[in-house]
Each structure stands twice: as C-alpha cells, then as structure tokens.
Chain A
C-alpha cells in the first residue's frame, strides 16, 4: 500500500468510529420519520379548503358567489343561521372557516358599493401549519373576488374601476380557544404569536448546547489534564462532585440565558410594538404564572441536558473527543426547535408527538404555544417528565461516577449485562 493509502486508511479508521456513526444514523432515522410525518403538508396544500357557508343574500350575485365557492372549496356545512354556523365551526363541523354573505351583498354591489363578506376562522393550533388552512380559505375568497370582477367586466356592469378591482370587503374574525379576535386571520395572529414562541426554543437550544458543551468539555479537561483521579480520591462524595459540576454549569447556563433573554426581549418588544394586534386585549398575552411555568420548564430541561452531557462526558477521553460528544445533544435540541417553528405540539401526528415529548428539551420549547392554546396540562406534564428525566439521568451519572467506567471510559463485558435496564434499576435500588 502506498504512503497515501496508509495515511488514508489510518484516518478513516480513526474517524469512522461507532461514536461518530451511531448519532448520525439515529439522526438520519429521526429526520426520515419527520419527513414522512410532514410530507403530507404539500398534498394538503393542493386539496380544496373545507368551509361552512351561510348566504343570506338571495340576489343574483349571491347565487354567483355560491357557485364560485362551490367550485373552489368543499362546502361541508350549508346553513342559514349565523349563530348555529358559529357553533358548528367551533365544534369542527363547519370546516376550516365559516363564510357569511349577508342579505345585502347583491344590493350593495348593484348600488355601486362593495359587497361585505364576513369570515370566521377557528384556529386550532399555532405555527406554520396553522396558517395553511386560512391561506386556502383566503385563496378561495380571492378567486370569488376575481370571478365577480370578471363578471362585472364581461357584462359591462359598471364603469367604477375601484369597484371592479375590489368588489368585496372582507371582515375576518378568528377564534382561538374561547377568545374571539376580531379583524385578523389565523395567519396574521400566528405571525404575532410566533414572535414570542420563536424566542424560547431558540434560547433553550442555545443554552443547552452551550452549557452542555461546558459540562462535556469539563470532563474532557479533567481526563486530559489528569486531574480527575485526584478529585476522586479527595474526601468528597461522588454525588457532590456530579452535582457540583452540574450546578456550576447550570448557573452559567442560566446567566447566559438571561443575557439572551434581555437581548431577544428587546427584539421582541420592538416587533410587538409595531404589531396591530394587542394580545393583552384578547387575553392572549402571557401572565406572571405563565412565565413561572416556562421558567421551571426551562430550568428542568437545562438540568436534563446537563445530566445527559455529564453521562456523555464520562465516555470522553480528552478535550478534543469531548467536542464531538456534544453532537447528539445538539441534534436533540435542534429537532424540537425546528418542529416548533412549523407546528404546535397538539397538531403533530401521534408518533411525532411521542418522539418530541420524549426529548426533554421540547417541554420549554412548546410551553408558550401550549399555554396560548390553553393546554396547561401539557406544560405540567412536560415539567413532570423533565423532573423525572433529570432525576433519573443524575442518578445514573452518580452511579457511573462510582464505577470503573469513569476512568476506563468503556463498559466491561461482564458489566454490559448490568447496563440492561433491569440490572441498572436493581443496582440503583441496592445502592
């Protein structure tokens, strides 16, 4: 083998280790699952909007509107009573939106004024996917407006160019939980809500990656500088060593997150200042108790991340190896962050929900959208899960700190059986 070949194979053997490959393979599988879960969005976009329709107008343009909407949407509810129609919409029996065309639609247009159309939306979730339905309804109404304009031109109905260009005036109302937000579509409301919902996942991801990297690097440094053995023979409990390292990284992580929050808070308040939707007016702004819940969730997720990193750090050999060990944590933080940009938790398909919930960092990332949508039980469930996960991973880290694996960096074959869940639980119980 030539010199080039020898060096090539040495590099490949060094770089292509199970530690490098396994996280990448897992991530590929996860992304494949996510791809198939979200793959339906494109098909959904091509489907017609499902709407409920109430047309009180008995004039010719009312009939024309019914025909146009019949062609561009799937009408799942056809009623005459607005109160009943709104109730049907809230019950999910009137499609994505309820379109109401009042009795004077034709007479207004014939009189030279635009026809008034009212659209009621029921916003079931937040994120990009929640905007799709309202987008399709908006598209159908645009088609109706174009059809009316075209009919006016063909029939030489009027010479009022403004009326031809804008024959309809639309009024939108969005229902979110029990709150009625007037004058906005779900996509407009989501744009405002997502400004806040974007900040927390970003902060959680940044803090976990940074604080986690500190913990793993600390372990890598201890091993590389050969200070770990000294530390372990000092008269201090291994539990305190683990907790001390975690607490140090947690405090630094919280300081960092506060700095991020101040910066992003200014960014958010600047954006919110330009928004026309006053969330407080519709009781959609977060209260102090909501911020407390988000804070607890964030802190526990940080603990989970740090404890996981501590376990990964046990397997690291030196500072250089520690850097690559952060990859699985980075990926685990990126998955829920990206998903939170597209959808809220409740709107996700079942298997994706299970995957996302299992990642402890998801709890604070979805906390704001869950609170906004009224799913407080999901926030509390996330907090309980994170607390259990953090406690379990910290116990596991302490247990590993008492084992040879901390210094040898690998599981002895005789001990591999102990790493099976049953063996591990019984060992922890005995301790």
Chain B
C-alpha cells in the first residue's frame, strides 16, 4: 500500500493559488523529499497533509485514509514537525515529552514513549531544565524527539535542520535516518537541496505550486547531466 497518494491537490488562499494541482505517491518506508525555493508551495502541501489546512481541490490519502473525511484517523498515524515549531517554554524538556506522550494512550505506553523521546533528544541533565533556557539546537532536538518518539507511520518534517549549525544538523539527520530503519515513512521538505539529496530515496521538485520533476536523485542528476540536485533544479525551472 502507498503511504501517501496525492492527486491533483490544489490549495487556494482567497484569490491566491498556493498549490496548483500537485500529484505524487510515497511508498511505505520511503524518505521522500519536496524541494523548491521559498514560496514554491512546499510548506502549504505539508500543512495540508498534516491535516492543518483544508483541501481546496483534489484528494489525499494517507495509508488508505482519505484526508478530507478521516482527518482524526490520519492524526493517529502521523507526526508533523513544522519549520519554526516551538515547545511550551514554561515546561521542562521532560515534562513536554510527557505531555505529548499522554495524547497517545491507551494505544501506546506513555512510559515507553517518554523513554524513547529522552533517548532521541539526548539532552542529558538539561532535559530537566525549562525549554526557555534551551539553545535553538537543543529545542530542535527536543522537537525531533517529540515527533519521532511516537513511532509514527508517517513523519512530515518541514525544513528539518533550518537554522541549525552543521554539527546539530548532522546529528538530527542521523536521528531521522535511524527512525526510517524502524519503518517510518518520511516526507520532508527543504530548500536545502544538498540535505534532501543526502537523505531522500526519491524527490519531487516543486516550483510555483506545481511539481516540475520527480525521481531518484541519482537518476535526475544523470538525466540532466548535473553534478548535484541544485543544478538539476536550475535546469528544470529554466
């Protein structure tokens, strides 16, 4: 079964058409990347898939569940990490993970989820400090832990390492990669084309609300005679 099937998805904000008929499929256990410049429609597509925004047109199914009619069921399977997400500043890191894990009972054991979250966050003794005292990298690790500790069937990750230094970015990519070994399907978006090339099994290039090319990074580079995905993208949108 396909993890995600998107057919002719459109999303309008009044007269502005943010997504103009996007279609793609993501297989179970795959890491699929949406890449494109700022304002291309990546985040809007991800927010629709995360059940945050209403669909203007087309259809989306996630593990066979129709997004329009079965949003609550979809929410049980997904985990969404927005680009500039934050955590409750007055909570400690541990309390925040406890708070989130409580929403997944009784299907999952909150104690196990917490243990897993603590392991992914790897914040050591700082996990018992308030979130407001965390650096950007620490907060992002906590949020990645929040997103992955529940072992979602689908993780939707928007600009995974946005604003992080190289070391923190590498660590977070490693954590996400490890998660995919557990069978989680990952849909991620980025305008960092190097990151997507490193992490994704397949990618779709999105520009001005439309998918302009898709395929495996290696195949696309060969097709356009490019040395990296950035060059592929420039060739495609030229």
Known: A235-B72, A235-B76. A229 touches B82 (CB 8 A): yes
Indicate if the CB atoms of B72 and A237 lie closer than 8 Å.
yes
Indicate if the CB atoms of B86 and A226 lie closer than 8 Å.
yes
Indicate if the CB atoms of A230 and B72 lie closer than 8 Å.
no
Known: A235-B76, A412-B14. A227 touches B54 (CB 8 A): no
B15: Cβ under 8 A from any A Cβ: yes
**Cβ contact of B51, chosen from A225, A226, A232, cutoff 8 A:** A232
**Cβ contact of B80, chosen from A225, A230, A404, A413, cutoff 8 A:** A230
A–B Cβ pairs within 8 angstroms, 7 of them: A227-B86, A229-B52, A229-B85, A230-B143, A230-B146, A233-B79, A412-B12
Indicate if the CB atoms of A233 and B52 lie closer than 8 Å.
yes
* Binary per-residue interface labels of chain A (387-422) against chain B in the complex, 1 for a CB within 8 Å, 0 otherwise: 000000000000000011001100011100000000
B89: Cβ under 8 A from any A Cβ: yes
Indicate if the CB atoms of B53 and A230 lie closer than 8 Å.
no
Q: A interface vs B, CB < 8 Å?
A: 225-227, 229-230, 232-237, 403-404, 407-408, 412-414
How far is it, in angstroms, between the C-alpha of A225 and the C-alpha of B86 when the chains are bound?
A: 5
A230-B146, A235-B76, A414-B12 known; 4 new pairs, CB 8 Å cut-off, are A235-B72, A404-B53, A407-B52, A413-B14
Give the contacts of B63-112 with A (CB-CB under 8 A): 72, 75-76, 78-80, 82, 84-89, 100, 103-104
Indicate if the CB atoms of B100 and A234 lie closer than 8 Å.
yes
Complex A-B, nearest 6 residue pairs according to Cβ-Cβ distance, in ascending order: A225-B86, A226-B86, A233-B80, A413-B14, A412-B14, A235-B76
What are the residues of chain A within 8 A of B79 when measuring CB–CB? 233
How far is it, in angstroms, between the C-alpha of A414 and the C-alpha of B51 when the chains are bound?
A: 20
**Cβ contact of A408, chosen from B13, B80, B82, B85, cutoff 8 A:** B13
B26: Cβ under 8 A from any A Cβ: no
How far is it, in angstroms, between the C-alpha of A404 and the C-alpha of B15 when the chains are bound?
A: 15
Known: A225-B88, A227-B85, A413-B14. A236 touches B52 (CB 8 A): no
What are the residues of chain B within 8 A of A226 when measuring CB–CB? 82, 84-86
B50: Cβ under 8 A from any A Cβ: yes
Known: A230-B82, A404-B53. A235 touches B75 (CB 8 A): yes
How far is it, in angstroms, between the C-alpha of A193 and the C-alpha of B88 when the chains are bound?
A: 47
Q: Which residue of A lies closest to B51 (CB)?
A: A233
Indicate if the CB atoms of B86 and A236 lie closer than 8 Å.
no
**Cβ contact of A413, chosen from B15, B78, B85, B104, cutoff 8 A:** B15
Known: A225-B89, A227-B87, A234-B103. A407 touches B80 (CB 8 A): no
Give the contacts of B185-227 with A (CB-CB under 8 A): none
Q: Which residue of B lies closest to A416 (CB)?
A: B14
Q: How far is the CB of B60 from chain A (nearest CB, A)?
A: 14
Indicate if the CB atoms of B52 and A235 lie closer than 8 Å.
no
Indicate if the CB atoms of B80 and A229 lie closer than 8 Å.
yes
* Binary per-residue interface labels of chain B (1-38) against chain A in the complex, 1 for a CB within 8 Å, 0 otherwise: 00000000000111100000000000000000000000
What are the residues of chain A within 8 A of B53 when measuring CB–CB? 404, 407
How far is it, in angstroms, between the C-alpha of A429 and the C-alpha of B84 when the chains are bound?
A: 36
Q: How far is the CB of A44 from chain B (nearest CB, A)?
A: 54
What are the residues of chain A within 8 A of B100 when measuring CB–CB? 230, 234
Indicate if the CB atoms of B85 and A404 lie closer than 8 Å.
no
Known: A407-B52, A407-B53, A408-B13. A233 touches B88 (CB 8 A): no
Q: How far is the CB of A270 from chain B (nearest CB, A)?
A: 39
Q: Which residue of B lies closest to A412 (CB)?
A: B14
How far is it, in angstroms, between the C-alpha of A54 and the C-alpha of B116 when the chains are bound?
A: 92
Q: Which residue of B lies closest to A414 (CB)?
A: B14
How far is it, in angstroms, between the C-alpha of A236 and the C-alpha of B107 when the chains are bound?
A: 13
Q: How far is the CB of A328 from chain B (nearest CB, A)?
A: 25
Indicate if the CB atoms of B85 and A230 lie closer than 8 Å.
yes
What are the residues of chain A within 8 A of B12 when measuring CB–CB? 412, 414
Q: Which residue of A lies closest to B104 (CB)?
A: A235
Q: How far is the CB of A314 from chain B (nearest CB, A)?
A: 14
Q: How far is the CB of A416 from chain B (nearest CB, A)?
A: 9
Q: Which residue of B lies closest to A233 (CB)?
A: B80
How far is it, in angstroms, between the C-alpha of A236 and the C-alpha of B13 when the chains are bound?
A: 26
Known: A225-B86, A403-B54, A407-B52. A234 touches B13 (CB 8 A): no
What are the residues of chain B within 8 A of A225 when measuring CB–CB? 86-89
Indicate if the CB atoms of A404 and B76 lie closer than 8 Å.
no
Q: How far is the CB of B32 from chain A (nearest CB, A)?
A: 18
Indicate if the CB atoms of B104 and A233 lie closer than 8 Å.
no
Interface centre among A230, A236, A414 (most CB of B within 10 A): A230
Q: Which residue of B lies closest to A234 (CB)?
A: B103
What are the residues of chain B within 8 A of A233 when measuring CB–CB? 50-52, 75, 78-80
